[in-house]
Amino acid sequence: MEKNTYFINIGTGEISQIKNENNFALIIQATAEEVNQLRRKMDDMHDSSFDSFIRAQIPFLEYHHDQANEQYDKNLTEAYQLIHQLGNSQTKAHIESMGIFLENQE
């Protein structure tokens, strides 16, 4: 399959083929299936973030036993792993400089 260039903004969940001032830090070369895989991870992050927000409104639930937070962290790490795998040299260097744990990196 043909790979295209995509610009990623983890914070906003943006995956775009158009470069703008908010998405140029992370650049990947990916097939449509790889982009769909990344989109699913980012959607899962959003869902976990919302679940965590709901949990935060319930004061008697302990935050350190929050499955939504753990799921968000897992999805975030997996998204960065995929971006690192598909990224150009600058993207890889940027992620490596962040000190993100890249378990099972190929």
Pick the closest to residue 45 from 84, 87, 15 (CA basis).
15
Average pLDDT over residues 10-35: 91
Task: Evaluate whether 91 touches 84 at the Cβ level (below 8 Å).
Answer: yes
R_g of the chain computed on alpha carbons: 15
Kindly report, residue by residue over 40-72, the tens digit of the pLDDT.
Answer: 999 988 776 655 555 555 666 565 666 767 887
The terminus-to-terminus CA distance of the chain in angstroms comes to 20
**Token code pair at residue 42:** 């980012």
What pTM did the predictor assign? 0.79
- Separation of alpha carbons 45 and 75, rounded Å: 6
